[in-house]
Chains A and B, each alone.
Chain A
Amino acid sequence: MSGPSSDYDPVEVTPLRADEVEKMRDDALAAVATAGDLAALKQARQEHTGDRSPLALANREIGALPPQARKEAGRRVGQARGAVAKALTEREQVLEVEREQRILAEESVDVTLPWDREPRGARHPLTTLQDRIEDVFIAMGWEVAEGPEVEAEWLNFDALNFGPDHPARTMQDTFWLEPAAAALVLRTHTSPVQARTMLTREPPIYIVCPGRVFRTDTLDATHAPAFTQVEGLAIDEGLSMADLKGTLDHFWESMFGAGITTRFRPSFFPFTEPSAEVDLVCIACRGEQPAVATCRTCKGEGWMEWGGCGVVNPRVLVACGVDPERYSGYAFGMGIERTLMVRHGINDMRDIVEGDVRFTVPFGMEI
């Protein structure tokens, strides 16, 4: 192809005739409109707007026109190319949306498919219940104290006013360790931790002592030789059974909700005097008629036995180096297994100790 001739000045070039340009434009628009997908559109773009497309070729001819005709031809071709470009853009958007919709439709899945690829873990409910109990006391400003499970006879018994020849020693069926002369036992309660704390700290003392304790009970539905207790001890000036009752009332409300109250009955523990058994209003029927009559949790009693408590025997204070003239205190204890069993409707102690994952997993991370 030659360039525009400077000495040739035609009045008219065929491709630039109005009807010719209109046809090129219409052909292009038709091709765009009929492009069924992005590939067809790309081809139409190539054919109708590419370097060799009719409109591009026509555009080149403009220079061949006499100067007075160039403006008109240029406007005509420019409008046609603009219309085609606009149609291409619009069509492309439509086709892209269509393509996306098609792909997304193809990618749809069954969202009800199950996912159990990773195993589900859990902490033991005794652990998490112990945490929860600790947290109630922590919130009251108390602290958590711990001690060894193999314990000296003196700390498990003598320091707690279990005289060497007092029948109370036989109240707790004790595992004795060999050799007998070593005077060691598996602790029968966490009270030695209380003694240890008094021996090493100045009052005021407000502690809870959770932990494993041992009695010579064969494993059955309600007993395990190794089980878990939490005991509490408060030593301060001017403490009485009223503070003890207030502490337990607050604790049990925190565990089981408002309206849970406690009842004391006289009892005997060597390390407390006066001593009491703690009854808790039944967590199921709340001791209210008519529910109490048919209540299976408390068997119609309206109350449930929950542990022992009392005013720390001054003899214990003396043995542990606390001045009984200045300080008094109270102590209490309860079984975590029993609390767990009642709170969660567990019937058999063996489920708690056997480690079957079907039992433990539903309790999850917190209780």
Chain B
Amino acid sequence: MRVPLSWLREYVDLPADVTPAALADRLTTLGLKFEALHAAGADVTGSLVVGRVLSFESEKHSNGKTIRWCQVDVGEGEPRGIVCGAHNFAVDNLVVVALPGATLAGGFEIAARTTYGHVSDGMICSARELDLGDEHAGIIVLGSADSVDMKPGDDAAELLHLRDDVIEFEINPDRAYALSVRGVARDAAIAYGVEFRDPADQVVPTPDDAGYPVRLDDTDGCPAFAARTVSGFDPTAPTPRWLARRVQLAGMRPISLAVDVTNYVMLELGQPIHGYDRNAVSGPIVVRRATAGEKLTTLDGVSRSLDPEDLLITDDSGPIGLAGVMGGETTEMSESTSDVLIEAAHFSAVTVYRTERRHQLPSEASRRFERGVDPTLPARAAQRVADLLVAHGGGRIDDGVTLVGSAPAPVAVAMTTDLPTRVTGIEIDEATSVGALEQVGCTVEVAGGRITAVPPPWRPDLTDPNDLVEEVARIVGYDAVPSRSPVAPAGHGLTEVQRVRRRIGRQLAGSGYVEVLSQPFVGSSDWERLGLADDDARRRTIRIANPLSEEEPELRTTLLPGLLRALARNVARGQVDLSLFETGLVFLPKGDGAVAPIPSVDRRPSDDELAAIEAALPDQPEHLAVALCGDRERAGWWGGGRAAGWFDAVAAIRAVAETLGVPLTVRSGAADPWHPGRCAELVLGDEVVGRAGELHPRVCTAYGLPARTAVAEVDLAALLARADTMVVGPRVSSYPVAKEDVALIIDASVPAAEVEAVLRSGAGELCESVRLFDVYTGEQIGEGRKSLAFALRFRAPDRTLTEADTSVARDAAVAAAVQRFGAVPRV
């Protein structure tokens, strides 16, 4: 809401020394949030005077333009010669002349300069050059030589109401009254403790049956409807400059007297008005809901299919307006409309809100109705419009005053006297509360420790005791809220999962991974780049009904798209050696068509209702992913580097599993988007919870990543669910260690992890550790075979092992591997 201060001051006598900024601050503390201050016309400086065009000659120039070389009387005795490109004026017209030295909107400086072969000694101004509007095709014609209210040489800035201060507020939904100058003025009067003159205080003739006939078929949707008619009005009459200027400064475009007046009254009172070309309306107006199949072409030229819930203004021809949202085309006021039917009605907030949403048709009117308009305004607003129309456009207000229905009565709200103190923590006595509520317009009664307030009609938002408290608190001032040291009961700190999650982040960062947090939106191009088959489970996604981008309408089912895009972005920016990780939720549809119920809010939902809500949510497990490319260890003066590879990705997840105390095993697998021969399945129990390895070469290409880029992704939620981070303190034996190396030749397809596991179990309790230290393939070993070399360490808790102890254990380990894999011990 933009409020010109000249307008505001008509209804409230603000102290002379109040600056616009101070006023804005003060109103902000009352709940009208300051958004911006506009010093309208402030950048137009210097002499701006009324000029009379004495004569002009049209000259056609070589650039194809025809200009007028004008002699203009600016009240100086001698006329000035001025070149003008516009053609919308005649001799003896009064125009606006900027004299040399003046500055116009946008810092445009005027000087006497030679143009089109003449010295142009000033400029005749258009509306746009003065920041008075968009009009630039022609110059402003103020009037003709016989105008009584101005003469050449007069100050044009004042005539045009150029200078004003405008405060722009962001009005919250609960303060609909402040979508009017009336409402802002009321709060300004409270702010400075001065009198408020209500522009809605109008004398309205008693309604009668002689007015335009109106019937309300739906008094829930339209409880009150006022109508007046004006006849013989001059449709070509100009809008008074002050009125047009205020409408413009309030953020609306001046159009014609009739339209400007309806907008002016809406801005002034907050009551939306609609004007009809009376001669285009046939028969009585009926307000009713639409019937199926009805259509209406609205003022914006769009033909709309109506919903049976839409509330309509109709006449004998059918729908002529969407109530409270937008009028229809057939009854629109035109340039020749001289008889006007004025509608000022009250429509229910919900009805207007739904129609506006359904037809995607927000308007100044609907914005006010959906938040709540003072329902007692219609008759007064209609009168105000009629008065202004005949005052500036001639004609007369017809006899007959229509007012059908009546404003709903406000509902009283009660609170205990101590509620303001209990809620705000400020000591507020009864008298203060009552005074504050009366200031905002409530009718207040106090009895039996309770304050009962009947809200004024412009405050439909005051429905609950706490609403009254907020009114009291804002009048007393939020600054009065004391600061009390908080005392919560003893807490338990972070949960185990929250702790462990931090630990994983630190662990990965400590080993050189950089965390990224990607946006979770994906699309089919991601699946194509990843090379996922059409029936891949990860392509079964949840779709956003209103995505920001049609390219990314889905929610991620895997972290890889975002992570790989981040990796590629880094590569494209010249970073080559990269290790990234990400944790975050992925979204897996259940595909059972479950619907989340919307229980009533006047009670706690039943456990069944809550369970149904939970059941309708998709699975949203937390995942962890890593991605690496380039060198994991860099080359330098110390020697060569080490390229990142599939094993780093596997190792990262293994290390996390170890931190979590989760028995994760690794086995060979194959899945997109991994290299089919370099993909590890990460297994927990019987379940594959993730994969790690080298990215498929085609995927590397698709993302613009270097060859051998490695990635891993694991269902972190599954790991966290099994986490066992309680370490049992190891007993450390102080007896000496015995070491044995074992080399086994086996089939190349046997996974090393399985051999290691068999050795470990075969070696028995004395075995402290088994470590693979070499893998060898070559001619000596034979085609399709490999040699694995393990270092075994043995130790007893209670004695020094003998050579016999050790060799028995070693032989048992080897025997197990021989039996299981047909391994051949190498000597």
Contacts and interface: CB of A to CB of B under 8 A. Distances in A.
A binds B: yes
Interface of A: 113-124, 126-127, 131, 134, 138, 140-144, 148-155, 158-159, 161, 164-168, 170-171, 175-178, 180-184, 186, 199, 204, 206, 212, 216, 218-219, 224-226, 234, 238, 240-247, 249-250, 263-268, 273-277, 311, 313-315, 318-321, 328, 352-358, 360-361, 364-365
Contact of B464 (A121, A243, A314): A314
Contacts of A119: 512, 577-579, 632-634
Nearest to B490: A141
B595 A140 contact: no
A338 B548 CA distance: 22
Contacts of A355: 514, 516-518, 566, 569-570, 580
Given A116-B636, A268-B173, A275-B470, A319 B423 contact: no
B516 A124 contact: yes
A128 B219 CA distance: 57
A134 B547 CA distance: 32
A121 B513 contact: yes
Nearest to B505: A123
22 contacts: A117-B634, A119-B633, A121-B510, A124-B515, A143-B493, A149-B585, A149-B587, A164-B598, A170-B357, A176-B544, A241-B425, A242-B484, A250-B486, A263-B478, A311-B469, A313-B464, A314-B464, A318-B604, A319-B602, A354-B566, A356-B573, A365-B509
A321 B175 CA distance: 29
Interface size class of B (residues with CB under 8 A): 35 or more
A4 to B, nearest CB: 54
Contact of B425 (A171, A177, A242, A361): A242
B601 A319 contact: yes
A48 B474 CA distance: 109
Given A143-B491, A167-B353, A206-B489, 16 more contacts: A121-B512, A149-B587, A159-B601, A167-B173, A167-B370, A177-B543, A206-B488, A225-B521, A243-B425, A265-B29, A266-B478, A268-B31, A328-B422, A328-B423, A355-B570, A360-B516
Nearest to B492: A143
Nearest to A261: B483
Contact of B519 (A183, A206, A219, A250): A219
Given A225-B521, A241-B424, A268-B172, A358 B33 contact: no
Contact of A234 (B486, B584, B587): B486
Contacts of A161: 601
A225 B575 CA distance: 27
Contacts of B524: none
A320 to B, nearest CB: 7
A243 B543 CA distance: 42
Given A122-B514, A357-B580, A149 B620 contact: yes
B470 A266 contact: yes
Given A150-B620, A158-B598, A134 B494 contact: yes
Contacts of A264: 478-479, 481
Interface in B547-589: 547-548, 555, 566, 569-570, 573, 575, 577-580, 584-585, 587
Contacts of A313: 464, 466
B469 A274 contact: yes
Label chain A's interface by main secondary structure: mixed
A263 B506 CA distance: 36
B555 A150 contact: yes
B594 interface: yes
Contacts of A166: 173, 353
Contacts of B193: none
A179 to B, nearest CB: 8
Contacts of A353: 517-519
B349 to A, nearest CB: 7
A170 B547 CA distance: 16
A178 B542 contact: yes
A318 B601 contact: yes
Nearest to B614: A152
A365 B584 CA distance: 18
**7 nearest A-B pairs in the assembled complex, by CB-CB distance:** A242-B425, A321-B604, A355-B566, A355-B516, A266-B31, A268-B172, A274-B470
